[in-house]
Chain A
Amino acid sequence: MKRWVDGRILPITVVVLAIVLIWYVFTVLLNTPWQQSVYGREGAVDVPFTQFLSDVFSQQRPVLPAPHQVAAEFYTSVFNAPAHTPRSLIFHAWITLSATGLGFVFGTLLGIGLAVLIVHNRAIDKSLMPWVIASQTIPILAIAPMVVVVLASVRLTGLIPKALISTYLSFFPVVVGMVKGFRSPEAIHLDLMRTYNASPAQVFWKLRWPAALPFLFASMKVGVAASLVGAIVGELPTGAAGGLGSRLLAGSYYGQTTQIWAALLMAAALSAALIFAISALEKLTERAMGARA
């Protein structure tokens, strides 16, 4: 019991319960008008409150599905549907995850590369940084269909266009974080390198890179979440090729709100899992670099 109170489990449980409770309240509020119009057409009067609640919570196309409806849909589409068919959420999640992963790796490498150039060259710093920032002011929803269409015209479809949209979103936090990271060594640490007459490569690998690693992990956590958003947005214009994005789109076409919420839940779970994985990698790296336990 003491561990429950001291640890993170209790606060998280309380918050989750509160959210679920509020969710139920809004489920009732938002679905009541439709339910009343149904009763009106049927001529039903004086429906008992328990009957009303059970009807409100089991609508086919609710404005807001109840948490247990979403949970049931999630469970069915994850565990009861064969994983290699479009009915399975695992199928869609994998498609999105592969684009996210590829785009994230591209984005991180691109971000580190640009940061190295920016830190080592004043001209590049002055000329490139404004473009890097400007790139993020363009709404991704505007540029994503262009990327997909343009690449499709050169017969690049499927994974690559989506990964590039992910890259576009995820390189930015890495550039910004790593520029700061590469510049984080104190003057005294740089002076020390100068007294050894160290080469720029030695200064980079023995000082700037290790000093920047904490910044890299922080940037990667932001970047991986952006990557996932990019992959999902990239799936919206590609039609029904699969992926959480196309699942969301299909859900909204056919008014399958429960399906949309289940897909959103999966997206949130993926993003949490990715960030957790990066945190684990961060912990391992910190330990290898002698951080305080």
Chain B
Amino acid sequence: MTTHASVVEASGLGLTFETADGPVHALSDVNLTIGKGEFVSFIGPSGCGKTTFLRVIADLERPTAGTITVNGAAPGQARKDRAYGYVFQAPALYPWRTIERNVALPLEIMGHSRAEQQKRIARTLDMVNLSGFEKKYPWQLSGGMQQRASIARALAFDADLLLMDEPFGALDEIVRDHLNEQLLDLWAKTEKTICFVTHSIPEAVYLSTKIVVMSPRPGRVTDMIESTLPRERPLDIRETPQFLEIAARVREGLKAGHSYADQ
């Protein structure tokens, strides 16, 4: 894969939460570089720090050790520059706003004009195939559609970096396949850098140019796999030996980093 300037650079990154039951090492010695235009998946069992790492990039958590830069500056600066769009595990749409007003939320906050808002709403809703649902309220849409609306919201202000925290985790397999395909399509069109947290091995392998395998207690990176799959990926690429080989390596990485005996 061609990697240009690095978007995220972490070295020796650690984060320890002080809790009543003693310190919890959510992240420990994470070294990682994410290049521009990459699609990086973070995979690992619960508690491996993949979501925490995403939140550190987003300046929603402060690291307690090491350094991290986003677009060459501190994460706080990137947040102030509105350098990234964040898609949460749940759609997190505001229930009192229609779909178009939800997509408009970041645009309102960032001070775009009404006309500009309309243009961007139409464009991003089209990108996630939600045209025609502008006036609907979130509860009138299915879970998959709600999550697509939340992706549209993250795309609306044209940040180059998209941080996605298990966005399809709560959806069924059929919807998930469909959205994965759409996401790859979107990534190809927009040439964004995407950081994607997931539980699912096929999802990680199907989507990514780079797969970061993590393990818990303390949360750390156990393997980093550069995908050899082509950028153009039809759904049935998942039956190819190349795909299965990468999936096997991810599975190995997960096993190695995680002793099931102590569960």
Contact = CB atoms under 8 A, between A and B. Distances in A.
Interface string A127-169: 0000000000000000000000000000000000000000000
B88 A290 contact: no
Interface in A174-204: 186, 188-189, 191-198, 202
A88 B138 CA distance: 53
Interface residues of B, number: 25
Contacts of A206: 94, 105, 108-109
Dominant secondary structure at the A interface: helix
B24 interface: no
Interface string B209-235: 000000000000000000000000000
Contact of B109 (A189, A202, A210, A289): A202
B94 A207 contact: yes
Contacts of B58: 195
Given A197-B82, A207-B94, A210-B94, A192 B109 contact: no
A292 interface: yes
Q: Which 5 A-B pairs have the closest CB atoms?
A: A290-B137, A289-B96, A195-B86, A188-B92, A196-B109
A290 B95 contact: yes
Contacts, number: 51
Interface string B142-163: 0000000000000000000000
B60 A196 contact: no
B84 interface: yes
B110 A196 contact: yes
16 contacts: A188-B90, A189-B92, A191-B88, A194-B60, A195-B79, A195-B85, A196-B105, A197-B79, A197-B109, A198-B109, A206-B105, A206-B108, A210-B96, A289-B95, A290-B97, A290-B137
B60 A290 contact: no
Interface in B22-70: 58-60
Nearest to B150: A192
